[in-house]
Structure 1
Amino acid sequence: MDKIILNGKIATMASKDMSWAEAIAIKDRKIAKVGTNEEILALKKDDTEIIDLEGKTVLPGFNDSHMHLLSYGYSCRAVNLNGTESIDDIVGRIKDFIEDKNIKKGKWIVGRGWNDDYFKDEKTFPTRYDLDKASTEHPIAIIRACGHIQIANSKALELAGITKDTSQIEGGKFDLDEKGEPIGIFRENAVELLTSKIPEPTVEDIKEMLLEGIKDANACGITSIQTDDFEAIPGKNYENIIKAYRELEKEGKLSLRIYEQCLLPSIERLKGFLDRGYRTGLGNEYFKIGPLKLLGDGSLGARTAALTKPYADCPETCGIPVFTQEEIDELVEVAHNNGMQIAVHCIGDKAMYMAFEAIEKALAKNPKKDHRNGIVHCQITDEYLLSKFKELNMIAYIQPIFIDYDWKIVESRIGSELLKTSYNWKTLLHSGVHIACGSDAPVESFDVLNGIYEAVTRKDLKGNPEGGWMPEQKLTVEEAVWGFTKAGSYTSFEEDIKGSIEEGKVADIVVLSRNIFEIPEDEIKDIEVEMTIFDGEIVYER
């Protein structure tokens, strides 16, 4: 044996009934045997490495079923606007960033993380004129925490050639003042008008950004992710992104298993991808092509999530559907007929109705039993939509960490009646729907233990609201851990090789400082990741 792990409280996650073991033997990057200390020690050789866990809890390596790894790495190089409490705070951070980094005039400044709902005074979006206070000599573009709103200063508008005569773009909009002049606010597809002008990173730049994200993910116990990267950076060159991943694998630096959720929002882009021979499942256990990813709408925070009825707190809008029904029908049908799994970002109920209709049409024309298509986020649902998940055998990709912010705004956005059937994770799970948990990082943190805590308590990280938000929808600890381990492997057709601690599966393991199944649920967020093992090797140790 290469390595033996002893004296652990090992939750194998081999079944939902919860089976336990004391020790694991690892050989050639795989789990060779699971059992008692005595059984596993009998396999020891002279050169076997022994790890004594002294009673610590062991789980399969965590699987984040939906995040944006490259976007996370890219944002690490940008102005960090998380936690800003006013527009003046944003301006100050940008000024400090330019000064600290000594950035030359004319170079682009990109920032991410601001959220107007957290502003102390007026909760409004910044404009070009606000960002001009930071600099008029640097083009500036800052992205809201949700990723669906971008603000540009006057220099950025100038370089992008955007004036009052610029045409609006389908599936998005940029805001105008009373004179018809753009004020620097871009929503949904209109964001592309800006990002297309920002210099494109090289393959080496991409690799460095990915490595930064991989290191931080490993520190959270994550060994597998499903990541949407293809439009995360200027240039949107998916060939370079795929090349970067494959080079990292060859160099032995890829300590995450990647299932790429392929964002290809136009029929031309999708057909070009298919013409190059890409299909769901192409690749190996380190990097693999996953589903076609589509953005059906925007975000609830920005009021761009597409609803069937006007927003309760902003009746002049129902949000922004990114596609017409005909457009999403064509994308889904072409992908389905060419061997692609489907995953559609839908936050609003209108977007979900459209996605279900497109998928149902594709399945009617070309039935496929084990399609494993899914809805990413699936937040605002009614009774019909909840039942449709089971009827169409759809996966629900949920992000429990969203409760940290969303519980404060949902009722004001959609009203009390629709709220009753929204964020209904327990309802979906009990109806037999496959639920896989993720983070949507960098929109939120990919700290899995925070995500499990919020799934189980339905509270934010400050412990609010008392008793939990919609507490009838709480998951058990076992259900939440399953959602971050075995369930994620199911969504990528890989439940036979990972997601549980069983003989023959990859040796991806996380060691926790406390027993997550025995401590008070409010203390789950305080658990530390002690060690992360990927492919039988320690890639993080506290």
Structure 2
Amino acid sequence: MYWTPQDLREQVEHCYDLGIGAKFHATGDASARAVLDAVAAVRAARGPGPIFPVAHAEWIHPDDLPRFAALDVVADASPYIWYPGVIPDAIAAEVPAELVETMWPLRAFVDDGAVVAAGSDWPCALPTPDPWTGLETLVTRRNPDPTVPGALNPTQALELTDALTAFTSGAAATGLADVAGRLVPGLSADLIVLDRNLFEVPAEQIHDTTVLQTWFRGELVHEAGTAPVPAPPGHREVVDASVS
């Protein structure tokens, strides 16, 4: 590996000293364990501290799954690419089939109480950071194109509520949890109005969702079919809000 265990521990220590988090990219179970070991060692010595997301979290040894929640490490997935298609096919040509069948264990993360963040991996994954393909495939584990067969490790599919959480408060947990991600008093009033109720349409139609309005800091900044609305100059906090 490029990083030695000592390298990783020193970098985590440095983050503590600076009071900032850091994202570690780890696709294999050995690299994920190396990150968890480094965070565990520093947490044990210095107590709670910065947030450390593990980007991709593609393969995780079963013994390490509960450590994410225990160590306050975020599983930062990229659901835009983890469904049957070119990239998983390329991976399947290089690793044993039994490993392919354990890819991307997000249901296990949620069941263990870990925070799952839906990262876009943009612009690497898709030409747009539009969330709807990623949201749908978290639930279906299938390619939105019906001509592409199969499902990728379907036992790890998320319920829609969990998938939405990954795209909102889960994503904010990587460093913005005290600013955004939920509609509660004191956080930024960021919300969108959709053309459909995601809980009332088949999951296979989620990728066709259109945003009708976007609100940022309590101000309308986008409306479908109109010219862009200038961003508000100041910050406006939520005074009272709820989510149905």
Q: Shorter-normalised TM-score: what interval?
A: 0.7 to 0.9
The residue aligned with 1:440 is 121
Q: CA deviation at 1:372?
A: 2.9
Kindly name which structure, 1 or 2, has the bigger radius of gyration based on alpha carbons: 1
Q: CA deviation at 1:452?
A: 0.3
2:215 alignment partner, SS class = strand
Out of 129, 149, 171, the position equivalent to 1:488 is 171
The residue aligned with 1:345 is 25
1:408 alignment partner, SS class = helix
Structure 2's unaligned 5+ residue stretches are 225-244
Q: CA deviation at 1:363?
A: 1.7
Structure 1's unaligned 5+ residue stretches are 1-320
Give yes or no for the alignment of 1:422 onto 2:114.
Answer: no
2:214 alignment partner, SS class = strand
Out of 125, 136, 145, the position equivalent to 1:453 is 136
Aligned counterparts of 1:371 and 1:394: Cα–Cα separation in 2: 9
Give yes or no for the alignment of 1:407 onto 2:88.
Answer: yes
Aligned counterparts of 2:71 and 2:159: Cα–Cα separation in 1: 25
The residue aligned with 2:55 is 376
1:400 alignment partner, SS class = coil
Aligned counterparts of 2:184 and 2:176: Cα–Cα separation in 1: 17
| Paired residue type of 1:361 | A
Coordinate RMSD, CA, aligned: 2.1
Out of 157, 163, 182, the position equivalent to 1:474 is 157
The residue aligned with 1:366 is 46
Instruction: Report matched runs for 1:62-81 at 5 Å.
Output: none
The residue aligned with 1:324 is 4
Number of residue-to-residue matches in the alignment: 220
Query: Structure 2 vs 1, CA of residues 413 and 333 (structure 1 numbering), >3 Å: closer, same or farther?
Result: same
Q: CA deviation at 1:465?
A: 5.0
When the two structures are superposed, what TM-score results if normalisation uses the length of structure 2?
Answer: 0.81
Higher RCO structure, 1 or 2 (CA under 8 Å, sep 6+) = 1
Instruction: Report matched runs for 1:41-56 at 5 Å.
Output: none
2:80 alignment partner, SS class = helix
Instruction: Report matched runs for 1:189-204 at 5 Å.
Output: none
Query: Structure 2 vs 1, CA of residues 423 and 516 (structure 1 numbering), >3 Å: closer, same or farther?
Result: same
Q: Deviations over 1:324-367 (max 9, x none)?
A: 33322222222223322232111122321221222122222212
Query: Structure 2 vs 1, CA of residues 464 and 457 (structure 1 numbering), >3 Å: closer, same or farther?
Result: farther
Give yes or no for the alignment of 1:535 onto 2:217.
Answer: yes
Aligned counterparts of 1:526 and 1:400: Cα–Cα separation in 2: 16
Q: Is the 8 A contact 1:336 1:342 kept in 2?
A: no
Aligned counterparts of 1:385 and 1:491: Cα–Cα separation in 2: 20
Q: Is the 8 A contact 1:332 1:362 kept in 2?
A: yes
Aligned counterparts of 1:402 and 1:467: Cα–Cα separation in 2: 14
Q: CA deviation at 1:464?
A: 5.9
Out of 7, 12, 15, the position equivalent to 1:335 is 15
Q: Is the 8 A contact 2:107 2:158 kept in 1?
A: yes
Q: CA deviation at 1:406?
A: 3.5
Q: Is the 8 A contact 2:21 2:175 kept in 1?
A: no
Aligned counterparts of 2:67 and 2:163: Cα–Cα separation in 1: 22
Q: CA deviation at 1:493?
A: 5.1
Query: Structure 2 vs 1, CA of residues 475 and 464 (structure 1 numbering), >3 Å: closer, same or farther?
Result: farther
2:108 alignment partner, SS class = helix
When the two structures are superposed, what TM-score results if normalisation uses the length of structure 1?
Answer: 0.38
Q: Deviations over 1:280-306 (max 9, x none)?
A: xxxxxxxxxxxxxxxxxxxxxxxxxxx
Query: Structure 2 vs 1, CA of residues 522 and 354 (structure 1 numbering), >3 Å: closer, same or farther?
Result: same
Aligned counterparts of 2:199 and 2:211: Cα–Cα separation in 1: 15
| Paired residue type of 1:461 | P
Q: CA deviation at 1:388?
A: 2.7
Aligned counterparts of 1:475 and 1:512: Cα–Cα separation in 2: 21
Q: CA deviation at 1:504?
A: 4.3
Out of 351, 355, 371, the position equivalent to 2:35 is 355
Q: Is the 8 A contact 1:381 1:418 kept in 2?
A: no
Aligned counterparts of 1:365 and 1:490: Cα–Cα separation in 2: 23
Aligned counterparts of 1:366 and 1:337: Cα–Cα separation in 2: 10
Q: Deviations over 1:51-105 (max 9, x none)?
A: xxxxxxxxxxxxxxxxxxxxxxxxxxxxxxxxxxxxxxxxxxxxxxxxxxxxxxx
> Greater share of strand residues, 1 or 2?
1
Aligned counterparts of 1:468 and 1:333: Cα–Cα separation in 2: 40
Instruction: Report matched runs for 1:19-98 at 5 Å.
Output: none
1:506 alignment partner, SS class = coil
Q: Deviations over 1:464-517 (max 9, x none)?
A: 65452211111111111111112223332525x432334443221111111111
| Paired residue type of 1:411 | A
